[in-house]
A and B are shown apart, each in its own frame.
Chain A
Amino acid sequence: MRSESDILIIGSGITGCAVARELSRYNASVIVLERESDVAEGATKANSGIVHAGYDAFPGTRKARYNILGASMYPALCKELGVPYRRNGALVIGFDEADRATIENLLARGKANGVRGLEILERDEALRLEPALSPDVLCALSVPESAIVSPYEMAFALADDAALNGVSFRFNEPVRDVSALPDGRYAVVTDAGSCVCRVLINCAGASGAEIHNRLSSERLEMVHRRGQYYLLDRADPQPFTRTVFQCPSVMGKGVLVTPTVHGNLLLGPTAEDIDDPLDTATTAGGLSEVLAKAFRTWPGLSVRSNITNFSGIRAHLTGDDFIVGPCDGCPGYFEAIGIESPGLSSAPAIGAELSGMVAAWLHLSRKEKTVPLPRRPKPFHDMTDEERARAVQADPSYGQIVCRCETVTEAEIRAAIRRPVGAYSIDAVKRRTRAGMGRCQGGFCMPRVAAIIAEETGLPLQEITKNGGASRLLSGTLSSFGKENADHE
């Protein structure tokens, strides 16, 4: 397939989605090309989910500026898009005098960056706020502006909004080559065909430097730094209300213990440099490191309530700062590269600025009307009895609970499949509805979810995948399987 557009975005992580949504407000054709089968399949689905207050980045860096600006945009954006967000506050804890020095540095940096409410607490005060903390803490930086968000749900909402306003998302289209055409446009080759565009925007996360290096003579070097996690079951109440960080090091922000917006507890991440940017495996060594470090923060930790492990990969540039904007020597080529932490926090700001630069370059006019994203109904799990009674009366498919652990109804699963950027795999449904995210990890509901996807899409059950590509759930029907094997003999 050959297509043309004004603007082409590579990558549908939170950065690409934020840029796409902002650009959907202009009179221009926009295509997003994504390698995977869904939005948010890169770093955006596997991170700590913290909207950082902005005390960590060095003053004057792009990381600091976008973090502060992005974090300030989150509350209104989450409200508008119906994305779970909570300002739960954070503590950065120290165990010895060296840590105290680090914490004092963070306080100074945070003040220079304009973060409000920072203060250093002594041991007793920290323990009073978070009684599950280790009694070995010496002091803590209190960060009241720190917040938690569901990162992939943010990306889904941004993508839905963009799609409703005319952006076309194309999945399963890995970009294999990019080149500048003599007429000033760019040609992009994917597994499924090619695209020509006036503006090319690189939001390709871990592949950002590779794509950059194909166009620019100024080479960038990227390090892929993996972070592994434990995710513990929901509990009521959770032992921690705040996000608890240990002191950061050159490799990252250290191992944290944090509640998630859905009431689970997240422990991690590690920081290990790896060669393969797609290698999101967890390792015995990495997992035991997370436990050992998290145990230092939280002596009461028990893995009995673990429900899953996962890992995400930071796209770290050796220059140590984000690159956001036009690229010298490549007119019409824009990029957001090296978007490691605090990239999630920064995404709304990067989206707004980058789209502004592109619009100015192309002299785009703003659309007169935008289509607002319809409010999604409250999840059944969070409804009161009265709300549940009304919901099932209005739509009987609310009466069919598909996922027992997270109480997700058939109505919600069908709605997720029918969203503007719809869910066609088990993982896509899971991230949009939480079906299969609970303690049994889909043991009961996965066959039913697969059947509903098959029904909604008209695909045979055997074609349904866990997360696109070759990740099929089944290898055949009993009859075809028997036959195929008989043929072999």
Chain B
Amino acid sequence: MNERFVNILIVGAGPAGLAAAISARENGITSILIVERENEPGGILRQCIHNGFGLHRFKEELTGPEYAQRDIDRVTELGIPVECSTMVLSVSPDLTVTCISSSKGFQVIHAKAVVLAMGCRERPRGALCTPGTRCAGIYSAGTAQRFVNLEGCMPGKRVVILGSGDIGLIMARRMTLQGAKVLACVEIMPYSSGLNRNIVQCLEDYDIPLYLSHTVTDIRGRERLEGVTVSAVDENRMPVPGTEIEFDCDTLLLSCGLIPENELTSAAGIAISPATSGAIVDETFCTGVPGIFACGNVLHVHDLVDYVSDESFKAGAAAAAYVRGGRTESSFIAVRDGDGVRGTVPQKIRAAADQPVSLMFRPAAVYRNSAAVVDWDGKEICRKKAMIFTPGEMALVTLKAEDLRGISGGTLTVRIERS
């Protein structure tokens, strides 16, 4: 068995892993290794050939591959090795990582810090428990995207999309441009889970109807999909009899949410938050196991890659500080989801934190002209007003170092105060 030693090992060469590597190097760490299971770096961005990436970070509109290439170029320039076609099989709490590839075989790598940047995967049909037949022609939107953009193949001709996640919206446009007929986009919630700009540019511009508060209640076709039934749902998301609409289609794309890919994380004994399905971390993105950090979509699902990169730069810097031994023992301030708030990250803040801390979360519903408020043991310490909070867009409140001054324990609660 091939054994090696590195300072920082990064799992995944998507935008999160690449940014963490760049930042760790810029913070003085020399021996860094990125391990990526695909045959090229870039992560999910490789198949996102539409533009709309990088508006925040680069102030220009790039395609996914263009955005990824900037980080890949920087990683190359800094001489950070990326081992592709190599799958990480395990990460252990003592920071030993095992991985396998055809070229190097089975390797055991000992690290001083590990950054988890494995991204996420799409929720499959099983997770939705949709009844009907199990025929061909039902794909997650990302699988269809991969077929079209990477393999040059069309999954079908008449398409219904279940779920209004961004990938589904992007694929509605992509399939239409390639000559398919997209009949409908169906969303069980009363609002879309995708970005507003995608609703406009991918559905409205192509006259694709969006059915809110509707879901697919039956799937027909013995071999290949022949049709689906769509029904309205009540406020408990139960189908309302008599509202059925039949669609004849050969393809159903599912865009019903993403789930962080945390098998390695759980197997390492790291606690996972039920709200985010990602690791529980502190404000340095350190998980419950000292020396193991997590960032990007594996930590919580982001809307924009720009935010992934931003978070991952911080995580990379924190991993570098950890390797240099610059971490002091500290007690924690707990962070809790309050009214109207879901999945706040980080879930805890070290009392010794001397930097501003961004609290990221998903609004539980649509709130207009409201405020996000952070309380510490019942006392308000920060407030941020917004015209609209929606579940489709991650919200953020930043606590300044002075907001936290004098706080060394207890609980911070993030909540939405409706006007």
Contacts and interface: CB of A to CB of B under 8 A. Distances in A.
B106 A388 contact: yes
A399 B102 contact: yes
A462 B153 contact: yes
A284 B122 contact: no
Interface in B365-417: none
A283 B217 CA distance: 9
A287 B126 contact: no
B124 A440 contact: yes
B242 interface: no
B156 A308 contact: no
A461 interface: yes
A187 B155 CA distance: 41
Given A280-B134, A284-B239, A470-B223, A392 B105 contact: yes
Interface string B13-26: 00000000000000
Contacts of A405: 263
Nearest to B100: A399
Interface string B220-251: 10111000000000000001000000000011
B183 to A, nearest CB: 15
A481 B103 contact: no
Contact of A476 (B85, B108, B122, B153): B153
B313 to A, nearest CB: 27
A307 B127 CA distance: 6
B125 A401 contact: no
A379 B112 CA distance: 32
Nearest to B179: A485
B330 interface: no
Contact of B100 (A388, A441, A462, A485): A388
Contacts of A283: 131
B121 to A, nearest CB: 5
Given A284-B239, A386-B1, A400-B102, A473 B155 contact: yes
A471 B157 CA distance: 14
A475 B106 contact: no
A447 B143 contact: yes
Interface string A457-485: 00001100111111111111111011011
A306 B129 contact: yes
B126 A441 contact: yes
Main secondary structure of the interface of B (DSSP, over half): mixed
A369 to B, nearest CB: 38
A397 B85 CA distance: 11
Contacts of A396: 102-103, 105
A231 interface: yes
Interface string B139-158: 11011001110111111110
Given A389-B105, A407-B89, A475 B131 contact: no
A479 to B, nearest CB: 8
A281 B85 CA distance: 39
Interface size class of A (residues with CB under 8 A): 35 or more
Nearest to A445: B143
Contact of B126 (A308, A385, A486): A308
Given A282-B131, A470-B223, A401 B100 contact: yes
Given A392-B100, A399-B100, A440-B124, A471 B224 contact: yes
Interface string B154-186: 111100000000000000000000111000000
B406 to A, nearest CB: 40
Contacts of B223: 465-471
Interface string B284-313: 000000000000000000000000000000
A416 to B, nearest CB: 19
B135 A385 contact: no
B132 interface: yes
Nearest to B225: A471
A208 to B, nearest CB: 20
A281 B251 CA distance: 17
B160 to A, nearest CB: 15
A154 interface: no
Contact of B1 (A308, A385, A441, A443): A385
A440 B131 contact: no
A478 B153 contact: yes
B124 A461 contact: no
B105 to A, nearest CB: 5
Given A393-B106, A443-B121, A472-B136, 9 more contacts: A231-B126, A281-B131, A392-B106, A398-B102, A404-B37, A447-B150, A461-B153, A471-B135, A486-B179
Of all A-B residue pairs in the complex, the 9 with the closest CB atoms, nearest first, are A399-B102, A466-B136, A389-B106, A485-B179, A441-B124, A396-B102, A471-B136, A308-B126, A471-B223
17 contacts: A280-B134, A281-B132, A281-B218, A281-B220, A283-B131, A306-B127, A309-B129, A404-B87, A404-B263, A405-B263, A441-B126, A442-B143, A468-B223, A473-B137, A474-B153, A475-B251, A477-B154
